[in-house]
Structure 1
Amino acid sequence: MSASTASDAPPTARAPRPRRRHSIAEKIGAIGQNRAAALLLLVATVIAVVWANVAHDAYEAFWEMHLTVGLGDIQLDFTLHALVNDALMAIFFFTVGLEVRREFAIGELTSWSRALVPVTAAIAGLVVPALLFFWIALPSGYAHAWGVVISTDTAFLVGALALVGPRIPGRLRIFLLSLAVVDDIGALSIIALVYTENFTPLPLIIAAVGLVGVYLTRYLPTGRGPVYATLAIIVWLAFLASGVHPTLAGVAIALLVPVYRPNRRDVEHALDLARTFRQSPNTEYARAAANSLRESISINERLQSAYAPYVAYVILPLFALANAGVQLTPEIIAGAMTSALTWGIVVGLVVGKFLGVFGSSAVLRLLRIGDFGPGLTLDRIAGGAALCGIGFTISLFIVDLAIDDDAAQNEGRVGVLAASVLAFVLATIVFRMSDALHPDIQTGETLVRPVDPRRDHVFGSMDAPYEIVEYGDFQCPFCLKASGSIEEVRRELGDQLRYVWRHAPLTQQHPNALAGAEASEAAAMQGKFFEFERGLFSDQEHQLPSDIVRLAASLGLDVDRFERDLTAPEVTARVRDDMLDAEAMNISSVPTFFLGGRRHHGPYDAQTLIRSLQASQTAPEAPVPASSAE
């Protein structure tokens, strides 16, 4: 995307309405929910270990209880353990598949240049641990169980990051989540290719027909939910009959569920129906409005929102309860301490994951390949690489698939638990050291990303002695007031000023702020950023999708191209980058100014800004405007 040129005009002001400055309360990701889910998973693990050691026979007997489900002569017989691992975990893998689908369609992995670093780190994080495990565990006779060390537990990873990660984890969190998506793809592929026994191909034909039906269901005008559910059950049963682990049915179905960003016309239609219901409330209009609102969001995102709480708070804790019950008698611990299998798992997860993720990232950084972004420093990547050694869920899952002997399974579980604890402790130490190394980023006093005319929206010459960088929100009245101050400073300083706008939309207080920011980026792709900015500021009360499109038309933009660009991954990534920069600098309110690269505190009237610019300018020959003299 090309930056706006100096020929663009900056925004002008109108009288603001008095209002309190807002805080940026919505952080990247639901950190509180992640922390709670991780703690619940940890509690379930502790309960399983205690239960297995206090009453081992009762623990085994409970999970080996049989449950029979059927109709007539068709019956399925499961143990409770198999029900959790084969059925409930299919829902977990279904949500993983939804996230994979979303990331490749409209998320971080849509752009190869942006995805290069996490994808490379994920691949190295799969290969290096497997090689280390194979080498160390070879004498044990279980080298074929190398799949135990390849995968990172995403739930524990995100929860642990919320518990012990850096105070401002935004960019690191996106890096780790992108890495985890690729990691999950690798792990699921290996489960399908390596740990499938008694393969029967015929049922997979039925599964294939069912998956085609899942794909075509998107074209049904109504009643898609029951059809999806019925086909999902058929596909799961077909996978079960084929010998391929039935949890992979969840992934296959998820990859065929449509994902898209909300379409402007669908949103407008939903709003029209809501207005109709408000004018004439009845059951028919209520149902139509509710259906229209629901359909404006892709089923992928609706399903993620619907299933996420059940996965985090029910399915994963149940899985831990059913699979983490390792006995820790002195004899078992002593055996694990001398077991090549146990040490292969510990070294593979703790050392292998760290070397793979951190080592590959360091090489890319050294070679200046890929986009790291402010705040994603190597020391923080080191902490994230250490957290990747928590392989809990899928590691325990593959222990159960790859190892038949009960004693060896116990040794494997000891290795997984020990590696997870060691990885958590190591990551905590690295993060505390990382925070101590970056006090300037923590306080946010310095602009973390220098102005780049190829990326930024710049008004003025790059040779100008004075520079103002503003982080703002098009719907914020204080940013509107600041636009008047900027216009006055521009008149005073003329060609001596370089002004840069960056996005920090307050999405909780201003529901349309994010859409306005993305629309301005779509306008920038046609060279009209500052004109569009001025239009948004001139009418802060009317920034619905239809208003934004009318503004684009009034500025002479190609409206069809503008609407396509509104949903382009490049536009979303550009705004999110600015938001992550703001988070990395601990920006808690807007407008926030950086003058000469240093954060400005206090009033932002024109004369105060000019005096602060003078103070930040060290060149003695820089002229001083007469009107700014005291």
Structure 2
Amino acid sequence: MRGFFKNEASSTTVLLAATVLAMLWANSPWSETYEAFWHTSMGLSFGDASFSLDLRHWVNDGLMTLFFFVIGLEVSYEVRMGQLRDRRLIAVPAIAALGGLLVPAAIYLAFNAGGPGAVGWGVPIATDTAFVLGLLAVVGARCPEPLRAFLLTLAIVDDILAIMVVAIFYTESLSIPSLITAAALLAAIMTLRWLKIWRAPAYIVLGFGLWLATLESGVHPTLVGIALGVLVFVYAPSDHKLLRAGEAVQEFTSSPSPAAAAQATRLVRMAVSVNERLQMRLHPWTAFVIVPIFALANAGIRLDAETLRNAATSPIAIGVAVGLLAGKLIGITIGTWLPLRLNWGVLPGNLVWGQLLGGAAVSGIGFTVALFIVDLAFEDPRLHSEAKIGILVGSLLAALLGWIVFRMAWDRGGVCAPPDAEPEEELPVLLSEPVGPDDHIRGPKKAAVTLVEYGDFECPYCGRLHPILETLRQRHKDLRIVFRHFPLRTLHPRAVPAAMAAQAAADSGRFWEMHDILFDNQRFLTDEDLGRYADQLDVDPWSEIHRHQTRVGRDEASGRASGVRGTPTLFINGVRYQGGLDLESISKAVDEARPRQP
């Protein structure tokens, strides 16, 4: 059971099982009990005061708030510590997500403009992250890790855009007193956060009150989940907290006792941010309980002959299905191509267009948020059914299309690589951009041999190579070493900030001093650590950050044009070095590259 719940595809299996169960229930001889059950009223009462909702609304307005709270946690983490910190890395999936919203909505409106279904344009805009990641896990090796990172970033932006659409376009009426109450409660929660008061009961009581006030205000209460998730504190473990936790564990190991165990548990837990702890605790509940219950409550569609006949000619069902199948594929593809063409961003890893097209196709699987918006957009049960049938058909066809594209891309080794990702077997071996005065150069200006390293300050292999290159420079007096940045952004989240700090030091002529400090302290590259190293050199690590980003991006572009795909990659006198990364092998290559004397 533990293995099942740890497998990423398992949550998709449970979600699919809940969907099938809802369909069977709604089409069984006991079909009337399906709607009767989910319309059962349940509430709270205290004296004469009472609050009641039917079970479906408790699921859609209550449990789904917790689901969106987890999404808010993920957004907060990614913005502060994850991939959403790097503008160039998020530019492509963010614009792709926007394209994946606009094109499906436009296609849907092309079928429904001016008709009773026009209000449902928001149904095909959202991607179901759970189903997409589950399908990618089934695809396996055909879906490389960089594509998964790309689609995860796209899904986060997609969720944010979908929630904004719900807030702006699917709020019918507003209650000003309830909105004022909600604003006051939200301000109280933010005040507790500002005062660094971390008491769960206080946040639970205020959060529940905020949910009730938002529900009464007319704004959909799931927005509360996103807002509270974004406000949860996230931070990288500090050296002080890690040291205290390590000391407590050591004390427990030497003198085991209940008190020592409790202290070690508390300090180890405190070393990790509240955000990450909540994600770990709540994600299994949302993935294996809340979302499947939501599917069970909303996916029960009556599929009799009349319903299917109406759906086959319904502009609502056709618009949703075509929007998910073609709209997502076209929108995400254009949204990926445009920023790459304009050099607004980069892709993670060595992705090819076959893989990107497969990812765009499976992003047409719209289920959870699509069903959610159906419930907000339509009151007529017939329109409800037609929209849900369109969701099911479009999602199934998108999954099938994605599988076919992945299969073709795998069998053919990828097609038409984007500008920054060329097939490995055709990589160039010559340095695309010769060494110039703007490069970071260590050694004599008129050296007989020039060694260019494309490196990453967080890469352990670059760290091992660092002392070897120092020894090599001492051994070969006619050797100069050039360092160019090539941060592996998806693997090493601290590599880019470290490169920024090195570039800031370069402004004061102290690049190589910072270079050596960073490689000597690879395990300690937090913002606090980088600030401390900068203070040692009397430089400002975050000055001129946009100019430094441009410089690092220029190094990366020259590396990709030269066929660099990993770190460290070396070029000796402009030719890629492909030998061992040990002192004797590189020294021999330097000797062979030295021009022979007449």
Q: What TM-score do the two structures reach when normalised by structure 2?
A: 0.79
SS for the counterpart of 2:27 is: helix
Structure 1 segments unaligned to the other structure (5+ residues): 1-30, 508-512
Structure 1 residue 235, shift from structure 2 partner: 0.5
Change over 3 Å in CA distance of 1:489–1:416 after alignment to 2: same
Q: CA deviation at 1:532?
A: 5.6
Native 8 Å contact 1:84 1:318 kept in 2: yes
Q: Distance in 1 between matches of 2:549 and 2:352?
A: 23
Q: What are the superposed Cα offsets for residues 136-171 of structure 1, whole Å, 9 maximum, x if unpaired?
A: 024752111111112111222233233337646333
Q: Hey, what does 2:595 align to over in structure 1?
A: 623
For structure 1, which segment, 107-116 or 144-153, has the greater mean C-alpha deviation from structure 2 after superposition? 107-116
CA contact (8 A) 1:101 1:254 kept: yes
Match of 1:301 among 264, 269, 276: 276
Asked if structure 1 preserves the Cα contact closer than 8 Å seen for 2:124 and 2:370, the reply is: yes
Note the alpha carbon deviations across 1:429-452, whole angstroms, 9 max, x for none.
222333434499776894899787
Range with greater deviation from structure 2 (37-46 or 317-326): 37-46
Pick from 19, 25, 35: which aligns with 1:51? Answer: 25
Q: Which residue of 2 aligns with 1:35?
A: 9
Residue 491 of structure 1 corresponds to 475
CA contact (8 A) 1:127 1:150 kept: yes
Bigger shift: residues 239-248 or 386-395: 239-248
Query: Which runs of 5 or more residues in structure 2 are unaligned?
Result: 416-420
Q: Does the aligned pair in 2 maintain the 1:444–1:585 contact within 8 Å? A: no
Q: Which residue does the alignment assign to 1:261?
A: 236
User: Over the residues paired in the alignment, what is the CA RMSD in angstroms?
Assistant: 4.7
CA gap 1:447/1:229 in 2 versus in 1, 3 angstroms: farther
Query: Compared with structure 1, are the counterparts of its residues 244 and 331 closer, same or farther at alpha carbon in structure 2 (3 Å cutoff)?
Result: same
Instruction: Give the equivalent residue in structure 2 for 1:557.
Output: 537
C-alpha change, 1:426 and 1:594, in structure 2 (3 Å) is farther
- Quote the offset at 1:66 in angstroms: 3.2
Q: SS state of the match for residue 304, structure 1? A: helix
In structure 1, C-alpha distance between the alignment counterparts of 2:104 and 2:276, rounded to whole Å: 33
Kindly provide the CA deviation profile for residues 562-613 of structure 1, in whole angstroms up to 9, marking residues without a partner as x. Answer: 69999xx979x99xx99xx9xx9997xx988788776847x54444345668
- Does the CA-based 8 Å contact 2:97-2:157 persist in structure 1? yes
Amino acid at match of 2:585: T
Worse overlay, 213-222 or 388-397: 213-222
Q: What secondary structure sits across from 2:396 in the alignment?
A: helix
Kindly indicate whether residue 77 of structure 2 is the aligned counterpart of residue 90 of structure 1: no
Change (3 A) 1:545 1:333: closer
Residues in 2 aligned to 1:292 and 1:61: alpha-carbon distance in whole angstroms: 50
Is the 2:128–2:368 Cα contact (8 Å) retained in structure 1? yes
Aligned pair 1:348/2:323, yes or no? yes
Instruction: Quickly say closer, same or farther: Cα 1:75–1:565, change in 2 above 3 A.
Output: farther
Equivalent residue letter for 1:557? L
Query: In 1, distance between residues paired with 2:358 and 2:127?
Result: 14
Query: Structure 1 CA distance, aligned partners of 2:524 and 2:79?
Result: 29
Deviation at 1:401, TM superposition (A): 1.6
- The aligned counterpart of 2:84 is 109
Partner of 1:3: none
Tell me the secondary structure at the aligned position of residue 255 of structure 1: helix
Task: Look up the match of 1:141.
Answer: 116
- Structure with the greater relative contact order (CA < 8 A, sep ≥ 6): 1 or 2? 1
| Contact 1:121 1:358 (8 Å CA) reproduced | yes
Query: What is the CA deviation profile of residues 218-257 of structure 1, one whole-angstrom value per residue up to 9, with x for unaligned ones?
Result: 2455552111111111011111222222222212222333
- 2:164 alignment counterpart: 189
Report the Cα offset of residue 281 of structure 1. 5.9
Structure 1 window deviating more from structure 2 (213-222 vs 303-312): it is 213-222
> Equivalents in 2 of 1:117, 1:517: separation in Å?
17
The one-letter code of the counterpart of 1:206 is T
Q: How far, CA to CA, are the matches of 1:244 and 1:37 in structure 2?
A: 30
Other-structure match for 1:17: none
Does the Cα contact within 8 Å between 1:441 and 1:585 map onto a contact in 2?
A: no
Confirm or deny: 8 A CA contact 1:64 1:81 kept in the other structure: yes
Match of 1:420 in 2: 395
* 8 Å Cα contact 1:442/1:585 also seen in 2: no
Q: Does 1:119 align with 2:94?
A: yes
Once the two structures are superposed, what CA deviation does each residue of 1:177-224 show, in whole Å capped at 9, x if it has no partner? 333233222221222232223532211211111101111112455552
Structure 2 equivalent of residue 608 of structure 1: 585
Q: Which residue of 2 aligns with 1:526?
A: 505
Report which stretch shifted further, 370-379 or 451-460: 451-460
Secondary structure of 1:196's counterpart equals coil
Please tell me whether the aligned partners of residues 516 and 543 of structure 1 are also in contact (alpha carbons under 8 angstroms): no
Report the count of equivalent residues: 572
In 2, Cα distance between the equivalents of 1:50 and 1:85? 21
